[in-house]
Chain A
Amino acid sequence: MSLIKYNDRSLRNLTTTPAAVTGNSPGALVHIKTLTASSSASLTFVHGSSDVVLDSTYPIYKFEFINLNPASDDKKFQVNFRDGGTNYDATKTTTNFFAFNREGSGDPGFSYSTGNDLAQSTAVQVISESAGNGADESVSGEMTLFNPSSTTFVKHFMSRTNTYYTSDISYDVYVAGYCNVTAAIDGVQFTFESGGNFDGTIKLYGIKDS
């Protein structure tokens, strides 16, 4: 058996491992991109831009929202999708419901959120309740987007976020629906309502199917 000479740097810099290490099954949840907002008006993931992958490479994509803190009080976090061209205006039909509980008196609730859903609308989709802008107040959660590159099917998405509501309420917000288009979705944009700036982190992952 021939000897191969490595130095420590060459081992550290390896980007793939032998089957013996990974069992031929490397992790199926692949980190693609982290965007960090710092008084930003939006965070946008566009396929092919800044190393973002949002095409047929993965059948399912997952976004994670970590401590999104709006600059102005009482603002909802929202999403929209690009289905060709440069505008984020894909037609969507969605549902929105929530559970909540107050810090002080309790008084919990569970309800459909009429007014925060969409019916064949190109408008932004709200995916949180109105967040406070206190130093410890924010929105966190996740959103899954299914097969955005399909040119056959509508594009389902579903999200769950928890909001530190402006008046000290925990809101658990569930949103789902579909972009009712057969064009591929190649960009996803996150904003707070009224174009307000925000801080925080959004991570994009791809889920492998092979």
Chain B
Amino acid sequence: MTLPANKIITINDRGARAATTFGSLSAGGGNMVFIKKLTASSDSNLTFHNGVSSVVLDSTYKEYLFTFKNIHPSAESDLLFQANAVGASGFNETITSTFFRAYHNEAGNDTTLAYVAGLDQAQGTGFSTLTDGIGSSSGTVNNDDNASGYLRLFNPSSTTFVKHFMGITNQQNPAVYSVNNYFAGYFNTTSAIDEIQFKMASGNIDAGDICLYGIL
């Protein structure tokens, strides 16, 4: 029904609340929904667990997106992640994954584009690599050293399929390189995944944000 623009409509507050469209805004307000931000402050890990601290990581969304902003370790180290199936612990799900990267040093005399065999997994249960070492030379880390990027996780609540993931990060690594990392793979389980943990290979995450979004 189309009403004249100045036609008075009398509704009560319940009526307004019950409306499903307002102006040009549709229900849902967008296809990418912010769920949770965890901010590191010398933390050993950052963990997103469905149902804990307002985290949603279940069948509500078919795809989830984690963003990494300025991940800064306490000492030169790799950023890693793993998952737990519902009801499980230990962050040791079985992973098969790929990892390749391009890098270029600030001196301008060393470049590469290559698969990195040591940073993939073949039915491994260890933490999977999101970045190689973030930091500066001699295992130290400068104040401005960090990594940023994202990780997409597909349909973690499925009890039929393996759980695919893929992502990209960019980082500074020891000896002052810009390193662009590409990783993908799957948790080789048909159990639902409801918990994801991020940590450094050694030391703490000194600073940085990881945000979780649901994709409608």
Residues facing A in B110-158 (CB within 8 A) are: 111-113, 143-150
- CB atoms of A7 and B6 under 8 A apart: yes
| Interface assignment of A3: CB less than 8 Å from any CB of chain B | yes
Cβ of B172: which chain A residues have Cβ within 8 Å of it? Answer: 154, 178
Question: A11-39 toward B: CB 8 Å interface, digit per residue (1/0)?
Answer: 11111011011110111110000000000
- CB atoms of A117 and B104 under 8 A apart: yes
- CB atoms of A17 and B102 under 8 A apart: no
Question: B157-171 toward A: CB 8 Å interface, digit per residue (1/0)?
Answer: 000000000001011
Contact A20/B104 with A146-B148, A156-B148, A210-B34 known, Cβ cut-off 8 Å: no
Cβ of A27: which chain B residues have Cβ within 8 Å of it? Answer: 28-33
- CB atoms of B7 and A147 under 8 A apart: no
State how many angstroms separate the Cβ of A87 from the closest Cβ of chain B: 21
Cβ of B58: which chain A residues have Cβ within 8 Å of it? Answer: none
Cβ of A8: which chain B residues have Cβ within 8 Å of it? Answer: 3-7, 9
- CB atoms of A6 and B11 under 8 A apart: yes
Cβ of B16: which chain A residues have Cβ within 8 Å of it? Answer: 4, 6, 18
- CB atoms of B5 and A94 under 8 A apart: no
- CB atoms of B70 and A21 under 8 A apart: no
Cβ of A1: which chain B residues have Cβ within 8 Å of it? Answer: 12-14
Number of B interface residues at 8 Å Cβ cutoff, please give it: 67
| Interface assignment of A43: CB less than 8 Å from any CB of chain B | no
- CB atoms of B17 and A156 under 8 A apart: no
Residues facing A in B165-184 (CB within 8 A) are: 168, 170-172, 176-180
Residues facing B in A161-210 (CB within 8 A) are: 174, 176-178, 180, 182, 207-210
| Interface assignment of A93: CB less than 8 Å from any CB of chain B | yes
Contact A112/B111 with A8-B4, A14-B22, A147-B69 known, Cβ cut-off 8 Å: yes
State how many angstroms separate the Cβ of A102 from the closest Cβ of chain B: 20
Task: Determine chain B's interface SS by DSSP, over half rule.
Answer: strand
- CB atoms of A154 and B22 under 8 A apart: no
How many angstroms between the C-alpha atoms of A157 and B178 in the bound complex? 11
- CB atoms of A59 and B209 under 8 A apart: yes
| Interface assignment of B52: CB less than 8 Å from any CB of chain A | no
- CB atoms of A26 and B29 under 8 A apart: yes
Which one, A5, A120, A154, A176, contacts B180 given CB within 8 A? A176
How many angstroms between the C-alpha atoms of A176 and B28 in the bound complex? 33
Cβ of B103: which chain A residues have Cβ within 8 Å of it? Answer: 95
Cβ of A59: which chain B residues have Cβ within 8 Å of it? Answer: 67, 69, 209, 211
| Interface assignment of A49: CB less than 8 Å from any CB of chain B | no
| Interface assignment of A97: CB less than 8 Å from any CB of chain B | yes
Cβ of B10: which chain A residues have Cβ within 8 Å of it? Answer: 3, 5
Cβ of B3: which chain A residues have Cβ within 8 Å of it? Answer: 8
| Interface assignment of A152: CB less than 8 Å from any CB of chain B | yes
- CB atoms of B30 and A29 under 8 A apart: yes
- CB atoms of B144 and A94 under 8 A apart: no
Cβ of A208: which chain B residues have Cβ within 8 Å of it? Answer: 34
State how many angstroms separate the Cβ of A27 from the closest Cβ of chain B: 1
Cβ of B17: which chain A residues have Cβ within 8 Å of it? Answer: 18, 20
Contact A176/B170 with A11-B22, A14-B22, A156-B148 known, Cβ cut-off 8 Å: yes
| Interface assignment of A52: CB less than 8 Å from any CB of chain B | no
| Interface assignment of A65: CB less than 8 Å from any CB of chain B | no
| Interface assignment of A114: CB less than 8 Å from any CB of chain B | yes
Cβ of A182: which chain B residues have Cβ within 8 Å of it? Answer: 144
Residues of A within 8 A of B (CB): 1-9, 11-15, 17-18, 20-23, 25-29, 59-60, 93-97, 110-112, 114, 117-120, 144, 146-147, 150, 152-154, 156-158, 174, 176-178, 180, 182, 207-210
